[in-house]
Every structure is written in C-alpha cells, then in structure tokens.
Structure 1
C-alpha cells in the first residue's frame, strides 16, 4: 500500500479535534479505544476494540459495525475535501458476514471513491485482527448540508 496523499490543512486540523473528541468525550467511541492507523486524502483506516458493553448475548451486536462504518465513511468523505463541511448520510447499505469478539481489535477501512454534485460515494469494510471479514458497506453522503455558521461540528 502506498503512502496516502496528505489531508488539506483545514481538514487535518479538524481531524485532530475529532480524534480528541472520539478518544476522550464521545460516549460510544471512548469505550472502544479508537486508534487511527492510516489517514489520507479520501481514506481512513482505524482500529477499535469493542468491549462487553456491545454484547448481544455472547456476540458483539452486528449493528455496531453499521455505526462504525457509517462514521468512518463520513470521515473518509471529510478527508477528501479541501475544507470542512457538514455531512449527512443519504444512503447506507451494510452487509454483515461475521461478528466481532469483545476485547479483540476490529480494523475499519473507508475509501471515498469520489464526490459529484455535492454527493460522495464511499465504500468501507470491517475485519477482525486476523483478517476475517466482518462487514462491508457502501454509502452516499450529502456534502454541505448546512452553512458553516450554524453547524455545531
């Protein structure tokens, strides 16, 4: 895998804030110790470790993969932009193949394939640390859903 193209300066600064919020404040992500492994223009690779909080019976609930993939696919869209803009998920399809194991790393990857007419096209996948495919996703995101002056992000 080649070195990723660097983020636009404003996006890189926004990602620092997002990483701090996810690591220290976000009620869901703080429980999974998110660690960015690769961040580049239009691409993102992170490692999370689901805890027993996310168990449904003896397995991690499959809906967690949908939340993770939706989030990092949106972040991959941000990573493709020149300047930070609000986003909204238009469409998301997630296919789950296997369940994550509590306490074991999950690697989530997202790639923004392109942006046309303020809509990004993104794909993603989640694998276990041994490479087992857990879930795949495809989605579209609206770019610039609100003016920057009223955005809370």
Structure 2
C-alpha cells in the first residue's frame, strides 16, 4: 500500500463512506486529489426526485480536501478541518457519477488552505468549496474516542 496516495489508504480502511461508495482516486498525486464516485442510493433525500442530501457533497469535499493536505505533507501527521465553506449548486442524483478535485493551495505555519469542486458528467459544477485544515493536531480523533467508550 506504500505506493498509494494517503487518501486512498485512509478512504479504503477508515473512512465512514468507504462502506457506502466505491471511490476511484486515479490521478491523485501530491497536493492534488482526484476522485470519481457514484452517488449512492442510500443517501437519497428526496425519493421523488432521486436527489441526495447535500451532506453527501459536503463529506466528499471535506474528505478529498483533507486528502490533498495529507498528500502535501512530507510526513503524515493528524489533521483537522478548521473551516469548510461549501456552495451547493445542485443536489446529485442517485446513481450519477460525480468527479471531484481538491488542491492544497498553500500551507502556512500549521494551517493548510484548500479548494475543492465536484462536477457532473458534463463538467458542470455540483458543489464548490474552500477549506482550512490544521496540521499536527494533538487531540485523538472522534473515531478513537468512540472506540474507548465501548470498552
């Protein structure tokens, strides 16, 4: 697994969406993450329109943007989303193929600045985002704390 981009390793084993979607990260390298995902039926918000909840686009963008930060680091350390602004232009439809791209634009001190977008098959934007991520966070992740609470 050492030849994989950090987002591929993270998404394949730890990410909550990993059991719901098949993500293809072909073309991801360094500070740029590219993904191709089929919008899952399980997250339909409006059955009549077969449209997904906007949370799908938000979590995909947050995930790939975090992956762009991880790919820009010389050594993997914990990161955390500090700020995320998502503009939802429309809701994806179940079964629709969505292409995403995230780029870590800059790192200054312990903050990374990232842009992201999700596009449909016609290259029309579904959602666009900007985000700020803290590098080298000290706290344990929510996932780690939830494991401890089960003991």
Check whether the contact 1:126–1:133 (CA below 8 A) recurs between aligned residues. yes
Check whether the contact 1:11–1:84 (CA below 8 A) recurs between aligned residues. no
RMSD: 2.1
Q: Deviations over 1:9-29 (max 9, x none)?
A: x7957455324316xxx4423
Counterpart Cα distance in 2 of 1:134 and 1:13: 25
Change beyond 3 A, Cα 1:55–1:89:
same
What is the CA distance between 1:74 and its match in structure 2?
A: 0.5
Counterpart Cα distance in 2 of 1:16 and 1:85: 16
Check whether the contact 2:6–2:67 (CA below 8 A) recurs between aligned residues. no
Counterpart Cα distance in 2 of 1:109 and 1:47: 9
The residue aligned with 2:35 is 46
Q: Which ranges in structure 2 are unaligned for 5 or more consecutive residues? A: 145-151
Counterpart Cα distance in 2 of 1:82 and 1:11: 14
Change beyond 3 A, Cα 1:13–1:97:
closer
Does 2:91 align with 1:91?
no
Query: Pairwise mapping of residues 100-111 of structure 1 onto structure 2 (< 5 A)?
Result: 100-111=92-103
> Which TM-score applies when normalising by structure 2?
0.82
Check whether the contact 2:118–2:126 (CA below 8 A) recurs between aligned residues. yes
What is the CA distance between 1:31 and its match in structure 2?
A: 1.6
What is the CA distance between 1:130 and its match in structure 2?
A: 2.0
Which of 23, 30, 33 pairs up with 2:22?
Answer: 33
Check whether the contact 2:7–2:64 (CA below 8 A) recurs between aligned residues. no
Change beyond 3 A, Cα 1:55–1:16:
closer
The residue aligned with 1:119 is 111
Q: Which ranges in structure 1 are unaligned for 5 or more consecutive residues? A: 1-9
